[in-house]
Amino acid sequence: MDFYIQEWVEVIEGGKNTNTYKPAFAKALLECISANRYFFINPDTAMVDFLDIAECMIRYYWNQLFFFKLRQQPGDKVPVVYQCVNALIEKYKELKQTSIACWADEGLKYIKDKAGASFYETFLKKAALTLNKDVAYRLPIVNGIEYPIYSFNKKDSSKLYLKREEIDKLKEFSSILIPLINYRWSLLLEKYNNSPNILLKVKNTSNNSIHRNDLSEFKNFLVKNEFLNQKPIDFYSGILIPEKEISVDHVIPWSFLYRDDIWNLVLTTRSNNSIKSNNKPNEAIIYNLEKRNKILYGKLPDGKYKASLKEAIDCGLVRSYYYQMMS
């Protein structure tokens, strides 16, 4: 492997972490480079702005802290960048008059539209200053050895420098480095969170928009097999659902499980689905879901959905994930 990239690998794998600043900073820097968010100050040297790095990190942390509810550090002391993101989240909830979590692209745009870009930029600049002061110089140090993966001047709070050949190599090997960063970040989060699919959540928090699978297949399957093609009954209210109002809901919120499983999907009305959103179910609902799963299992022919239900019933997945979520 290229020597410079090997240095990056050693930094990613060998660094000591008390929170997730380092992997987030490394990932944000690589994202900026991959997206050409830098410019050359001379033929051989490129500059990356700390504001661009901070903007990426705010997006990551918004999605992880607000949408996925992933704790980023042990103890109660909240580092500065998390404070900035939490302040933006609280502003969004105040302006929107809601506690329902959204993805960063939607939330940050709403803040800029309603509170003004200057409100957002205040916290962006504060985060960027923290990265220069407390993070950039720490990331390259492993076991007392400082790896020259980039250069910067702490007196200049806005710039980080890389050589042209370093930029080219990071672009070439980003498909190796970013998954490694995601993996190390997820290992940290597993220490602080009792949540499934953490690696996948970390991987996707860099996305500009949220991606959710089409649940039409599940809707059609449940109408046909649970209700035998009759008008379906709302799982939550017990009333008949008009055909145009049929909606599929994740009982245990999708933002927690981050997957679509037949044993966690029920039919409800569009309005009830909207009201429930990502709210946690109570234990009575969990009991009803377990009961529903056993009844549905008895109705199904052999196939992938029956096998999935069997695993959920035999392993107690519904209650297990519920207790994880509530812990």
Residue 210 domain-assigned (yes or no): no
Instruction: Report the alpha-carbon distance of residue 80 to residue 27 in Å, rounded.
Output: 18
pLDDT in the model for residue 178: 98
| Residue 16: strand, helix, or coil | coil
> Quick one: DSSP state of residue 240?
B
pLDDT score of 157 more than 90:
no
Q: Tell me: the pLDDT tens digits for 178-225?
A: 999 999 999 999 999 999 999 999 999 999 888 889 999 999 999 999
Count of C-beta atoms within a 10 Å radius of residue 243? 9
Q: Tell me: the pLDDT tens digits for 297-326?
A: 999 999 999 999 999 999 999 999 999 999
Beta strands in the chain (DSSP E): 39-42, 45-49, 141-142, 145-146, 151-152, 159-163, 246-250, 265-269
pTM of the model: 0.93
Rounded average pLDDT over 143-150:
95
132 lies in the same domain as 109:
yes
pLDDT score of 156 more than 90:
no
pLDDT score of 106 more than 80:
yes
Residue 209 domain-assigned (yes or no): no
Rounded average pLDDT over 96-102:
94
Residue 163 domain-assigned (yes or no): yes
Q: Which residue has the tokens 């009954």?
A: 233
Mean pLDDT of the chain: 95
145 lies in the same domain as 255:
no
Instruction: Report the alpha-carbon distance of residue 159 to residue 152 in Å, rounded.
Output: 7
239 lies in the same domain as 149:
no
114 lies in the same domain as 177:
yes
247 lies in the same domain as 319:
yes
Beta strands in 210-261 (DSSP E): 246-250
Q: Tell me: the pLDDT tens digits for 211-266?
A: 889 999 999 999 999 988 888 999 999 999 999 999 999 999 999 999 999 999 99
Beta strand 151-152 with 45-49 is unpaired
* Spacing of C-alpha 100 from chain mean position: 15
Residue 135 domain-assigned (yes or no): yes
pLDDT score of 278 more than 90:
no
Residue 256 domain-assigned (yes or no): yes
pLDDT score of 163 more than 90:
yes
What CA–CA distances, in Å, run from 251 to 115, 278, 281?
A: 34, 9, 7
Residue from 50, 48, 67, 49 nearest 59 by CA:
67
256 lies in the same domain as 190:
no
pLDDT score of 154 more than 80:
no
Instruction: Report the alpha-carbon distance of residue 191 to residue 196 in Å, rounded.
Output: 12
What CA–CA distances, in Å, run from 269 to 106, 160, 261, 282?
A: 25, 52, 19, 19
Residue 199, CB-side half-sphere exposure with 13 Å CA sphere: 7
Q: Tell me: the pLDDT tens digits for 13-65?
A: 998 888 899 999 999 999 999 999 999 999 999 999 999 999 999 999 999 99
List the domain range (segments joined by +) for residue 232. Answer: 216-326
